[in-house]
Amino acid sequence: MKILSFRARWLSQWQQFAKYLRYVFNDHAIIALLILLGAGMVGYQQILVSIQIGFWTKSLALILVGLTFSIFWRGASFILPADPVYLLAAENRLRKILRQATVYSIIINMLVQFLIMLVLTPLLAKLFGISATMIIIIISIGIKGLITFWNMQYMQRFKESAQGHRGQANKLVNWHQLVVSERNRQQKILAFFNMFIDVPGMQARVKRRAWADPLLAFFEPRQSTTISKIMVRTFVRQTQYLSVWLRITLFGGVLIFLSTGWLQLGLLTVLVYLMIIQWYPLVKAQQNVVFDHVYPIKLAERRRAFISITSKFAGLTVVFWFILVLYLGMPIINALTGLLIIVVFIGVFEYWQLRQLTMTKGQLQRGA
């Protein structure tokens, strides 16, 4: 049976991911990523030239190496939800899949660790020398492999063993825990794709966030409508949208420290672009709810609510960056000029993109 083959499950999963990758790495995203990559290389070069060799810089470099262990350390079990119910009669085949998945996870995570350490090699070589850097790289790759192996073993073992049957319990496999961990892993990957395209079967993570209730009145448009109330609460309570805003805001703050002048302005504009395009699923959020069609809610109302809400979040990001560049000593005229350029870009880009969306929606409705 193909379903009992690790290779078949691996191919099926990657075929699913490949369908979404073409939407992630479209022409606009590739250009933006190339700009960010070039800016990152320039900033990295400036750090290498200006960094001072000392105890604190070496300590920070080692802390940075330690932080790399938090990236790609979990394993992939490829165990499906139906396996514990229907395929336990072929448990030996499932155990074989699990062993192959463990080897696969260790190899992939060690490869990712090697690529990360390859990026850090120039910095480590300047601080510690070539020989010590090679030792650090080898040790870090070995540690990542051990962490992944331990994680796979931990996932498949029962947390509590009956007294007197510990040896027998250790031979059992906690298939339910493997199913849960594999589902969580795939949800995290699909959450990334869901930033760019609606992913079928994606389970949105919703949190109450009571601390944000006083802010909801500020983010709602002045002429509050039903869709604006729904949309602002979706933005705040769904991790998909709020996490994008927080990550890009903080990442832009880091780039401000690493770049100057027009390069800095270009990078921040690219980040604003990336932030806005990842918010577009919000325009169609809640359309699968029946009350969306009962009211009904016009697309123009949805567009106005989206522009009003997202422009305020983007405005907070720009204000934070503006305060940061002033704190770092940029002349206020230059800072205001950059602020004006980014604000104009936000308004024009949101209006143009949503106008295209409206036209497409109208064509679809006429075609139907």
What is the tens place of the pLDDT at every residue in 71-80? 888 889 998 8
Q: What is the mean pLDDT of the chain?
A: 80
Return the pLDDT at 292.
61
Confidence class for position 363, pLDDT limits 50, 70, 90: very low
- Entry pTM: 0.68
Mean per-residue pLDDT for 9-28? 82
Which tens digit of pLDDT belongs to each residue from 94-141? 888 899 999 999 999 999 999 999 999 999 999 999 999 999 999 999
Residue 203 — very low, low, confident or very high, per pLDDT cuts 50/70/90? low
Locate all alpha helices (DSSP H) within the chain, ordered by sequence.
6-24, 27-50, 55-67, 83-86, 91-128, 130-156, 166-169, 175-193, 213-219, 226-237, 239-258, 261-277, 291-294, 299-327, 332-367
Segment 243-265, tens digit of pLDDT: 888 888 988 888 887 777 787 88
**Would you say residue 315 has pLDDT above 70?**
yes
Tell which wins on pLDDT, 124 or 84: 124
Nearest to 5 by CA among 96, 82, 87, 108: 96
